[in-house]
Structure 1
Amino acid sequence: MPARTRPKAQPSGPKTNSSSSVTTPPPPPSLPLREYFALLSYHSALLIASFLFLPRSTKGTRLSQRSSADRPEHPFLTPLTANPLRTMAWHVVGLAVCVTWWGQHLRTWRAGSKTRDDSPASRQKRRRALADRLLETAATTLFGTVILVPVIFAFGAPLDSHFGHTVFLALHLSLLLVWPVIHALGIPSAESAILDRFRLSRLFCQFGAETPLERALVYPAVGTLIGAWIGAAPLPLDWDRPWQSYPLTVTVSSLLGYIVGGYASWAHSALEA
């Protein structure tokens, strides 16, 4: 009888494709849209409240309406328009607190859900990293203020007066434009990867926001600039209204543009999700 041939044994495991062995980098951390929307709403309310109510905390100052009898001003606006310099001083204090809190949330979202080590050495390292980031962000914001002052003068701010108003306006814009971005991303060093070194150029020169977190940084900055441009329109008009005092209209309009930009970034990311 002819000898039977045994069938060849088949491999027990599933077939592996050579392309599956190629490792791909992990995706960037996604922005929690529900939490982002809730905290953005709270952040927006704090920004508006800091402008409307902090200037009212000054006691012992006699306020008087600056409008004529035929154009009365609502009493609610009098503490804001009676002394715009004082209003701006109080406003930037509240704004600095708000953007510091907001920037830390953006930084946490960017870090993603990494395993957290609660050892004393790790906590000390995190505190040192946060202090360095805050110092870096504050220095960059002040540098942005110095850059924005001559820019505001170039756009028509008075050169012979209202210098303090211009400085506070520049600080206000720098806190909205610079602080959240640097707090979240930091300034890349020479040892950083090439993508990190050119990220700021991609975001703010090419407007190439690719992730929800990047949109949360770019859209409010664009809204701030558009709002500041729109807010400058009522300044030269001869309506003789107290709320036209420089730089209140630019401040309010840029603040609203910042808030609208934040909600626009959320809407764009929610539609793509």
Structure 2
Amino acid sequence: MPTLAVFNGTARLSTYLIPKALKAGYDVRAIVRSTSRFYHKVDKHDQLSAHELRDVNDVETLQSQLKGVDVLVLAAGIPLDEPTTLQQDMVHSCVAAIRANIKDGSTPPSVLMLSSAPLSPLMDFEGTSTEPNAKKANLMAKFLRYQMLVHEYDDQERAMRYLEKQSSWLKFQFILPGGILDVSEPEEETVKWRLSTTEMAFDLVITYERLAGAMLGCIDGGLEQGRYVVPIPTSKVKAGFGDMETARANAWSWLKKAVVFPALKGGVMVGIGLVAGLVTARSR
């Protein structure tokens, strides 16, 4: 079976993808910062090896780790919203390592990169679009891009553009899913997926379980050059995940904990501070 290398093996998606790849018979190399931390997340396996890369710019080490690899999966994590070049550094280093290996006579691997749906032209719907979620998707995309994760999306876009410049000699494919929810699903669930460059992805949400399955399907079928949103099911999805109401409930729960409640708490504290300041000023 082919050898699959996963950059950032400790990423949440990787912990779903790697077991599926092993079950399918792939030899898997996980490129991680810490092997001990990785094996706390993923069980050891005869066909699995973990390789430490402490510095993403260490091309020499990465070169040896990518020798003999058939498919390279890039799944960098998402840091806090601050200026970052994490994904650009990852792509630049991987391209440099692959080029060096080619000079030594190695065949370049195909590259599958996980990115974000808001970077897809599909998120820029016109008002006349027949897509039922067009306006909602457009508003969400603009909000995410310009208010919440602007630095991360800029980093992803630059990384993708750099990889696209290698199209004359390197085969790659981008996967741009919508929101990803971390909810459990039946392991035995099997759903056929297709990729699309003209439709939205599963009403903007997908679980890690399904995304990992869709990406492994891309690898099994041979990567196709281009940017794709996923997944769009072609067969009926079982009830393990639930319906979209469940997805929305999970998303709203996260939003309340991560955004709404902290914002309200901050607003209350500011209000108390202002009142205290006014009282102090008048007492003088």
Which structure features the higher share of strand residues?
A: 2
Larger Rg: 1
Q: Same fold (TM over 0.5)?
A: no
TM-score (norm. length: structure 1): 0.24
Q: TM-score, normalised by structure 2?
A: 0.23
Higher relative contact order (CA 8 A, sep 6+): 1
